[in-house]
Structure 1
Amino acid sequence: MPAVAELAQGWCALSLLHGRIEAHIERALQDGHGLSVREFSLLDVLSRQHDGPGGHLQMKKVADAVVLSQSATTRLVSRLEDRGLLVRYLCDTDRRGIYTDVTEAGLTLLTAARPTNDRALREALDEAARTPELVPLVRTVEALGRR
């Protein structure tokens, strides 16, 4: 079992890799599409719910999927709804359930932004691979992507 210091060092490396990747993607998405990483992630998660008409997610599941608190998710959804990229509506069978869905404009923006996101991710991983302590993590991310 690794010592606490080794675990802390591993966590620091993982946090560093995450921060570098997120910052690089954030700049690319903001510059190219006026989207934050969180906004892109939310549109992406919701767009993948569409196996046909009526694909949607309940707000609690949206918060879990984008790893935000419910209040932060509500603010994020509101911003995207104000931009016409998302809609919220009440569930037909459970009036307490609020669902979120991507609009056509949201899907169009997501389609345009996806190559930017993918290119920025690749660039960030390539840059991180130049830092010796991040190489094993970069390899792990790449291996996960091949699954």
Structure 2
Amino acid sequence: MTATDPALTGLAQGWCALSLLHGRIETRIGRALESGHGLSVREFSLLDVLSRQHSGPGGHLQMKEVAEAVVLSQSATTRLVTRLEDRGLLRRYLCDTDRRGIYTDVTEAGLALLDEARPTHDAALRTAFEEAAANPVLAPLVRTVQELHAAV
């Protein structure tokens, strides 16, 4: 396969379109969250992931799982957790059954901010998808995402 191979070129164009769609969505959501709630997209995502934990078996995520869920390295996730903990939005504690394990929960203040920010996030996401749907390059990706959502 060469760099001018039509299959590779098509794959590369698809990847560029996907990257463009992601970037536009993240930028739209980031601006809305930052201006309305003082949150970055990553901070919102972290609060959202951690708010879905539960007390049942396997309900609390290890830092590695949290990092995978928010698509960050473990060290970047730890720094993000520290920033949100310093703001009083998260708290860390030792696992009862394994003293090496450290878990993180969203505080009441974090849950309140997440609840306040969620409509802003959702509205920005809808707007970003509506704008992308008007772009002929991005419209097929938007349809695919909508089909995936409908199937779930």
Q: How high is the TM-score relative to the length of structure 2?
A: 0.91
SS at match of 2:99: coil
Q: Deviations over 1:10-57 (max 9, x none)?
A: 0000000000000000000001100000000000001111367xx532
For 1:12 and 1:130, the matched residues in 2 are separated by: 17
Bigger Cα Rg: 2
State the distance in 1 between where 2:112 and 2:120 align. Answer: 14
For the residues of structure 1 that align with 2:16 and 2:62, how far apart are their CA atoms? 34
State the 4+ residue runs in structure 1 displaced beyond 6 angstroms: none
Q: What letter is aligned with 2:42?
A: R
Match of 2:116 in 1: 112
Aligned position for 1:91:
95
Unaligned runs of 5+ in 1: none
Please name the residue that 2:53 is paired with: 49
Count of aligned positions:
144
Q: Which aligned pairs between 1:18-57 and structure 2 lie closer than 5 A?
A: 18-50=22-54, 56-57=60-61
Per the normalisation by structure 1, the TM-score is 0.93
Residue of structure 1 equivalent to 2:80: 76
* Residue aligning to 2:3: none
Deviation sequence 1:100-122 (CA, Å, 0-9, x none): 11111111000000000000000
| Paired position in structure 2 for 1:9 | 13
Amino acid at match of 2:111: L
> Quick check: 1:88–1:100 contact (8 Å CA) kept in 2?
yes
Q: Aligned-residue CA RMSD in angstroms? A: 1.3
Q: Percent identity?
A: 79
Unaligned residue ranges in structure 2 (runs of 5+): 1-5
